[in-house]
Structure 1
């Protein structure tokens, strides 16, 4: 059992965290099945204008990042000056039109793509989450929209869309104060609480980066001034890097944001549209073979890619509506 849990923790550390944090019911169903077998996997398997101003986005003179394998049909990437890109992103975001706060009875609709490592299959998922978090809906194999009630999980780090929105709107628009508040938020420090998994301390900068990218991936109701402040706060985090030409699971290329740190096994990009700076999806690339549990064959080979794409994120009046 100890070896199994150790392998699961190692594996979990390699799974990228994209922004589809609203897939709460699917995660909870998975955890329920796993707990029924006596193991806890824990967190779900996640994979969250610069080129329009090309004269402002010169390639940086930073030391070169570790080379990334370039699978077939993957466009080349080039590292950009992150401070310039994020400053321009803040300007664009600040000019957006603000949205009204949704009603508790409205629904957050999302449509995503998921392309697993070592597979050519792309999975499409659609889901509706009631804004107060009491119900969710998805499409069954027959094309019928099925609505289900959500059972609370006190140890989970997931929040309802309404809770995310409330926490989001408590953040200050001053970038330094925003960064300090995100870093000190006990919710992101203490949760999730998982049976059989020892929680390792997370560096403040890593947590701030993770939470800000999570918020940016939930752009459906983001206040413009706050979104602009998030981009400026990202620029204050040491180790944030940006590359152009990074593709998501839909084949769209954009600006890939990643955090330079101690992970030498894989690199996870959060991809933004190069014109609007809206969140497109994620892309994880394994930089070397990854072995788990003493296996002779790697679980993930060097050059393996796991990608997602966020195709739609909007507020609708009832499940089944897509805009």
Structure 2
């Protein structure tokens, strides 16, 4: 087992969203490969849920303060070489103990909005068994809420993610074949089950999703994920990609036809290969209904600042 160290304006008087609303919003913002849709009236809820899905990792070092990202020349690397090096690095990691069901996953996430560059930092807590979540509303009041079961939802608790990961093959070819046809990610949520997605796109989305979940997993499986990613057509890696705090990492992305106007990176630490950020950049102006919605160079990002396991909601590792 191992760890991966790896939304526009909101009214100040907005109420704390109900758990069901949070869970539905999470599906809209966390599924890899989907076009981002920013809904200002739902901003805080969506970002809170993005943070809630992360699974157990030790506390991370706090990054520098958020600052503007200066222009830097990125270098396209040989993806097969980099991903093999990542695999060799992560498979040497020591096992990490599984948290107890009643412990809580703490996460701290920085969100950057593409319309105006506005940033917000959010803290959240999720019970390892997924039965409760906790966080602060816009006024700073702390709330703990029950998370009722939803059989029509694709959300998995941290504990359920671990169970799923333990069943996955650690052979890259078998893993790739499995995730390309994984019925869980094809059929759920039900309202989106008719969406057509080719096998390569699905495999890339799911494998990237596992990395962004920062899930506790066997080192050999983690290595297999990187090796499987290297086998997917269109997967590329750029060096010197900066996240919204100015940290430089390796930008993992996939080139697909029809999506040339935007590039979505999974930014990895160049030494540990842990996920640092999920970040999109507009490569040209995006026009909606005759008006420029997002300018070239705009950035949407979720940057993981800290994470760790605590015994009670409200605690910080």
Name the TM tier (shorter chain).
0.7 to 0.9
Q: Using a 3 Å threshold, how does the CA distance of structure 1 residues 152 and 212 change in structure 2: closer, same or farther?
A: same
Q: Which residue, 275, 283, 287 being the options, matches 2:283? A: 287
Offset, 1:138: 0.8
The answer on whether the counterparts of 1:47 and 1:282 sit within 8 Å (CA) in structure 2 is: no
Match of 1:101, SS state, is: coil
The answer on whether the counterparts of 2:117 and 2:298 sit within 8 Å (CA) in structure 1 is: no
1:156 aligned partner:
153
Q: Using a 3 Å threshold, how does the CA distance of structure 1 residues 90 and 27 change in structure 2: closer, same or farther?
A: farther
Q: Deviations over 1:264-315 (max 9, x none)?
A: 22110000001110000122112223233xx221222222211221112322
Q: Using a 3 Å threshold, how does the CA distance of structure 1 residues 27 and 211 change in structure 2: closer, same or farther?
A: farther
The reply to whether residue 276 of structure 1 matches residue 276 of structure 2 is no
Q: Using a 3 Å threshold, how does the CA distance of structure 1 residues 229 and 288 change in structure 2: closer, same or farther?
A: same
Q: Using a 3 Å threshold, how does the CA distance of structure 1 residues 128 and 188 change in structure 2: closer, same or farther?
A: same
The reply to whether residue 296 of structure 1 matches residue 290 of structure 2 is yes
Match of 2:178, SS state, is: helix
The reply to whether residue 226 of structure 1 matches residue 221 of structure 2 is yes
The answer on whether the counterparts of 1:248 and 1:308 sit within 8 Å (CA) in structure 2 is: no
Match runs of 1:1-323 below 5 Å: 28-30=20-22, 43-46=27-30, 73-141=70-138, 143-194=140-191, 199-262=194-257, 263-292=259-288, 295-323=289-317
Match of 2:29, SS state, is: coil
The answer on whether the counterparts of 1:219 and 1:313 sit within 8 Å (CA) in structure 2 is: no
Q: Normalization by structure 2: what TM-score? A: 0.77
Offset, 1:29: 2.5
Q: Which runs of 5+ in 1 are unaligned?
A: 1-18, 20-24, 33-40, 49-70
Q: Distance in 2 between matches of 1:290 and 1:28?
A: 32
Q: CA RMSD in A?
A: 2.4
May I ask how many residue pairs the two structures share in their alignment? 266
1:8 aligned partner:
none
Match of 1:219, SS state, is: coil
Q: Which runs of 5+ in 2 are unaligned?
A: 1-5, 7-16, 33-67
Q: Deviations over 1:30-70 (max 9, x none)?
A: 577xxxxxxxx78333499xxxxxxxxxxxxxxxxxxxxxx
Match of 2:21, SS state, is: helix
Q: Distance in 2 between matches of 1:142 and 1:299?
A: 29
Q: Deviations over 1:164-217 (max 9, x none)?
A: 1111111111111111111111010111222xx673211111111111111112
